[in-house]
Amino acid sequence: MRFGWLSWVCCVVLGLALYIGNPKLVEDAENRWLDTLFQRRGPVAADSRIAIIGIDQETMNWAARPMFAWGPLYAELARGVAQASASVLLFDLIFSPTSEVVLRDHIRAVAAELAEEVSPRLLRAIGFDKPFRAALLELVKSGTRLVLGFAWEHKQPVFSDPSLLHIARRENTGYYNIATARDGVTRSIELYSNTADGERVNAVSVVAASTFASASARLPENPFQQINFRGPRNSFVVLSLKRVIESFRAGEMLAEKLAGRTVMVGFTGITDFKATPFGFMPGVEIHATVVDNLLNHRFIARVERSHEILVIAVILLLLLLFSMRFRVAAAFVGLLCAAFWTAFSVNGFDAFYLPAVRPLMLLAMFVITTSLIAYRSIYVDRRRVRQIFSRYVSDSVLHQVLASDDRDFMTGKRRRLCIMIADIRGFTTFSENRDAHEVVRFLNAYFTVITEIVMRHGGVVDKFLGDGLLAFFNAPVEDADYADKALNAAREIDNYSRTPEFRQISHGVNLKVGIALHVGDSVFGNIGSRRKTEFTVIGDTVNTCSRMESLNKEFETSIIVSGQLTALVRQQVNWRFLGRRSLRGKAAEIELYSLFDQEKKDGQKDT
């Protein structure tokens, strides 16, 4: 049963499952591969026009106050950034007046318990955000763009925080939301979306980039973009909030560090960490990375799914068609395709990303199924060849056959062969005067020896014809010395027929072996029916050789050969020309030769 269709079925089924079923585990694997590419690439240069002012643990310890009371510190920061002539100031913080309201209510309650009068003017003065608001207004007047953010639910209206957002204009606000993948890792960003009323809402990083360089006109058409991380945390310039405020208080100039830059303020050491391909990273640095990608147009350009499907489908189709004729080679080509795809995905990675998991799984499926089919085909083929040829040829020739990829001779092939026919003269009389068991025992012993002789010289024992033997040389494996080997085998068979061992198995009867050798084009192959087949040779060369062998009796020779053989023999031989003879059924005459040394042995034996 042929299994060539198995690769087609497996690849089609797997392809449909991967691209239509879209398994989550496969998508997770693709994300892991993307993470690996980031880590292999390592850190690269980030946009120097972006600076981060971080609220780290050192700043928290230095401030020694609850977060709702940080308004005065933020005010100092805003004034310092304005003096440093920063281009944009973005706060990655959500401000709320709730703490101040609670504080005022608490003061009123205590005063009521103590029956004390609290001046409304005093209550209005209790507000940590008031210095911050004033500083932000001064910041906006100085020309530095202020960008503030808010938390927002998709398809919901945008609620502006009345505490601070009114200071920045509506177009200078955006949402902070950062999405994470199924495994909790941040790899992409949604740059903009719409409310339920169709109002467009931008991410705060889009607002910052647009404010800095009018980047809104060059926003990608697809709001979902793969973030091109520049490296692990601190890939951008990061300054401590504590050190920035201390420098401002000391009158030190911050222009060198902040002038003309987009300054982003956020937590960097205590909270707001998100998992990324480079490990945990502060949210403010993820926003900085998005701004970097927007300003430099270097989001990850992932190959579109339709293009990926088209390319891998074409590759697999070519491989499957190629495997129909060259299955083993196709498996190796499939491995090369997988290697090239992987290399291209790895070496081309930075702003370009070639997905690898699905294509590599399909190529692996092709290689595995093709290799299994090829292995089964080779195994069955070798087993079949071994079963057939172990009866006809020597082990050395069998190994050559198994090592060869040529199997055309199994279905028929034409080649120039040397045919050998050996026949026992006087066997009919011998068999009539002997018991059947003795006859069979003699033939078994005789054929065992001459079969070994033929095989030892690289010949194929075709069949036994009563007391005769048909063999041929130069097949199934081609041999440049086949003529010499056939002649040597004939000599050895003739010499064996003169030995005491042969006389012993023939019970002392003087039997002679006649041998004929002829060279010509012949057809050989595995011939027969479904129930019985045999590897044999057919053609006029066989018939000619058979008629030549019958002339041994007439010429009183033991070995007779044709002129076609003598022209191919390379060894030095003392030939005796017997003449030209027109054989029965042959119009052309054929030159016949014998060997002087063998005739000399015949003469010595007769005397």
Model pLDDT for residues 512-525, shown as the tens digit of each residue: 999 999 999 999 88
Report how far Cα 210 is from the mean position of its chain's Cα atoms. 43
Instruction: Please compute the mean of the pLDDT values over residues 595-602 and round it to a whole number.
Output: 67
| Domain 401-606 architecture | 2-Layer Sandwich (3.30)
| pLDDT (tens digit per residue) in 50-91 | 999 999 999 999 988 777 778 888 889 999 999 888 999 998
Token representation of residue 357: 């998991």
| pLDDT (tens digit per residue) in 196-216 | 777 888 999 999 998 888 766
Instruction: Please compute the mean of the pLDDT values over residues 403-416 and round it to a whole number.
Output: 66
pLDDT at residue 13 tops 90: yes
pLDDT at residue 100 tops 70: no
% of the chain residues with pLDDT over 70: 86
Query: Could you tell me which of 583, 547, 590, 530 has the C-alpha nearest to residue 565?
Result: 590
pLDDT at residue 98 tops 90: no
What residues are paired with 544 via a beta bridge?
none
Q: For 393, which DSSP code?
A: S
Query: Could you tell me which of 433, 471, 467 has the C-alpha nearest to residue 453?
Result: 471
pTM above 0.85, yes or no: no
Instruction: Assess contact for 265 and 164: CB atoms under 8 A.
Output: no
CA angle 83, 86, 87 (to 5 degrees): 140
DSSP string, 200-218: EEEBHHHHHHHHHH-GGGG
Question: Residue 398 has what pLDDT?
Answer: 56
Q: What is the torsional sign of CA 175, 176, 177, 180?
A: positive
Instruction: Assess contact for 233 and 289: CB atoms under 8 A.
Output: no
More confident residue, 604 or 369: 369
- Residue 599: which pLDDT band, with cuts at 50, 70 and 90? low
Instruction: Assess contact for 542 and 522: CB atoms under 8 A.
Output: yes
Distance in angstroms (rounded) separating the CA atoms of residues 52 and 270: 15
Query: Could you tell me which of 491, 507, 508, 506 has the C-alpha nearest to residue 450?
Result: 491
Instruction: Please compute the mean of the pLDDT values over residues 580-585 and round it to a whole number.
Output: 84
Mean pLDDT for all residues in the chain = 85
Distance in angstroms (rounded) separating the CA atoms of residues 413 and 331: 29
CA distances from 322 to 331, 359, 367 (A): 10, 18, 12
Match 């006859």 to its residue by tokens: 439
Question: Residue 607 has what pLDDT?
Answer: 41
